[in-house]
Amino acid sequence: MDSVSHLVRLARAQATLDKRCLLAGATVMDIPARGDGDAAFHLLLDGVCTLELPDRRVELRPGDVVLLPRDTPHRVRTTGSGPAQGVSETPGGAFSTVRSRTGEGVIDLFCGHYSFGPGAGAMLFRSLPHPLHVSFAESGEVDEIVRMLGGIMRREAWDDGPGTAAVLSALCNALLAMVLRKSGGRLAEPALWTAAHDERIRAVIDEVLRDPGADWPIARLTRVAAMARATFIRHFSRSTGMTVGAFLTHVRLMTAAELLIDTERTVASVAAEVGYRSESAFSRAFHLATGSTPARFRRNLERAA
């Protein structure tokens, strides 16, 4: 399994399409934060608009996706003639349709969120740039796959019948995989480690994800990458925005969270499986990453279930 597919499976993110926004003129739409365990996303198919966050503005054009790994309140603003206006929202079977109070819609924006648990999903989303802005347009033309995806989403939105919510959820999950593997176009800083552009670095990521519990000294990683030590360390940090040590820890703890959820293995056994020689060292690292000890993490999931 390739690295992005592996990470999406570990994260167990569930996509929900909340709104389709058909906005006109000068419109302002406020979107509140949903809270921990949710990451908002926006896919713009037509028109231009601005996403306003507390500390920055993101200009969106057709084919752009913005993912907010740490969900925060934000605002969508369109530019047009006339005074700023609000929106009206019409509930539907699978999602709501939002329109400007006056004027004919020129902005076609899909808004939704990914829900994820406190383990691997939270660790993956926390490792991403905030905001993560990806463009699926080249030379003004929207990528063919995204155009097809948008066409299916529009068709389902038009029908809004039996199965629409499930189909839209699956399409939005596919969109997440496309975002995580996107290495070109406009990207937020720092680097997106799931989409390392250097094939040699991607080979290292794939190998570690296949066997995170193995012994991975720098010498072994450099052999996989076929690079000199200093060159490898420099290229790895530049391509992923992470040190090698931080990456290894991240992948091991994501895998550990999956094992704690899916198996009844002891904490000591899980620690050994992901490459920790000491249960106490594993517990400290897991607590630092999740805010919970492995044992409490498992108990909390059992209670929730």
Residue with tokens 């939105």: 157
Instruction: Taking the CA atoms of 224, 229, 231 and 232 in sequence, report the sign of the dihedral they define.
Output: positive
Q: pLDDT (tens digit, 9 = 90+) per residue, 246-278? A: 999 999 999 999 999 999 999 999 999 999 999
Q: pLDDT (tens digit, 9 = 90+) per residue, 36-75? A: 899 999 999 999 999 999 999 999 999 999 999 988 999 9
Residue 139: what pLDDT?
62
How far is it, in rounded angstroms, from Cα 164 to Cα 84? 33
Co-location of 137 and 225 in the same domain: no
For 218, the domain range is: 196-304
Residue 102: what pLDDT?
87
Can you read off the two tokens belonging to residue 167? Answer: 């189909």
Q: How confident is the model at residue 158 (pLDDT cuts 50, 70, 90)?
A: confident
Q: pLDDT (tens digit, 9 = 90+) per residue, 175-220? A: 999 999 986 544 445 568 898 889 999 999 999 999 999 999 999 9
Co-location of 241 and 140 in the same domain: no
Q: What is the arithmetic mean of pLDDT over 231-254? A: 94
Co-location of 170 and 201 in the same domain: no
CA nearest to 250, candidates 120, 133, 110? 120
- 186 inside domain: no
pLDDT at 245 over 90: yes
- 227 inside domain: yes
Q: What is the arithmetic mean of pLDDT over 110-138? A: 91
CB 78 within 8 A of CB 49: yes
Q: How many CB atoms lie within 10 A of CB 278?
A: 12
Separation of first and last alpha carbons in the chain: 29
Residue 82: what pLDDT?
76
200 exposed, middle or buried (CB, 10 Å; 0-12, 13-18, 19+)?
A: middle
- 190 inside domain: no
Using a pLDDT cut of 90, give the percent of the chain over it: 70
Co-location of 235 and 292 in the same domain: yes
Residue 184: what pLDDT?
53
CA atoms within a 13 Å half-sphere pointing along the CA-CB vector of 303: 6
How far is it, in rounded angstroms, from Cα 245 to Cα 217? 10
Number of domains in the chain: 2
Residue with tokens 């920055």: 56
What pTM did the predictor assign?
0.90
Close Cβ partners of 128 (under 8 Å, ≥ 6 residues apart): 67, 69, 192, 194
Co-location of 175 and 47 in the same domain: yes
DSSP reduced 3-state for 98:
strand
How far is C-alpha 233 from the geometric centre of its chain's CA atoms? Answer: 26
- 292 inside domain: yes
Co-location of 63 and 162 in the same domain: yes
pLDDT at 140 over 80: no
- 185 inside domain: no
- 191 inside domain: no
- 229 inside domain: yes
CB 282 within 8 A of CB 276: yes
Average pLDDT, the chain: 90
